[in-house]
Amino acid sequence: MNTEQVDIKTPEYVSLQFQAAGLGSRAAAFIIDSLILIAINILIVISLIFGLNASFFDYFQSDIPSYLFAGVLIIMFVLNWSYYFLLEYFTGGRTLGKKALGIRVIQENGHSITLLSSLIRNFLRIIDMLPINYLVGMLMIFFHSKHKRLGDLVAGTIVVHERRGKKKKRASKLDKLIAEKGLGAKGGLVEEGALRALGAKEWKLLKTYAERFDSLNTDDRIVLTRKLADILFPKIDLDPSSKHYDELEDMLLELYIQMKEEWEYEL
């Protein structure tokens, strides 16, 4: 089934458009993640063998303490399950496989995936895996209008394509200014967790500010910069009162670059 365009109305009454990720891209991402986990599991087993100074065959035939064997199995189980749960929450809905394929998990309202949603959708993999090889999950993704598996339906999530630069656009005055200031190369203004305090409404304000940046005269730019900093920075635990105008301007542009990765999609 082809990917479908999804229109989302956020709680802030901002309309967003996404392209739902279909079975092909999701399956490819899952295969990449599975290969990564297989490699990690093999490394764990090899580490245990060398740690016990045993050969490969001794590992299965000798007197390896049962509690060690059970401990390794528990570690591998927790690792394999928490890989999806933790990565999707802490990296904005992207496992390594999803990142490689340019897809991510978000909430149905357009916001980043929450801890509870990530927990629910990954716990329900148990059902989506039935009866073998994710058959239930694949059938649901293929036939559902928004390509959702059971975990997505219960958790209120959707997997979408990320923005991809199809054409290289001519650099705008803002892009040149950001490059001249050397912004965007410091890893972001705030951590991913703090960024969750800003939603679609804040992104729209920041995007408008950035798009009008080079058309404002100096006085208007100073006033708008301070007003926007007073609105946004307290939400991410930053104090704008002690900052000079130039610092606030750079910080807002850094935040714009960081939020652009999270909120701006190109279909």
| Model pLDDT for residues 105-163, shown as the tens digit of each residue | 998 887 889 999 999 999 999 898 888 878 899 999 999 888 999 999 999 999 999 86
188: left (phi over 0), alpha (psi -120 to 50) or beta: left
In contact, 18 and 147? CB cutoff 8 Å = no
CA–centroid distance for 66 within its chain = 39
CA–centroid distance for 221 within its chain = 32
Angle of CA points 185, 189, 194, to nearest 5°: 140
Overall average pLDDT of the 70-94 stretch: 88
User: What pLDDT is recorded for position 87?
Assistant: 92
pTM (whole model) above 0.75 = no
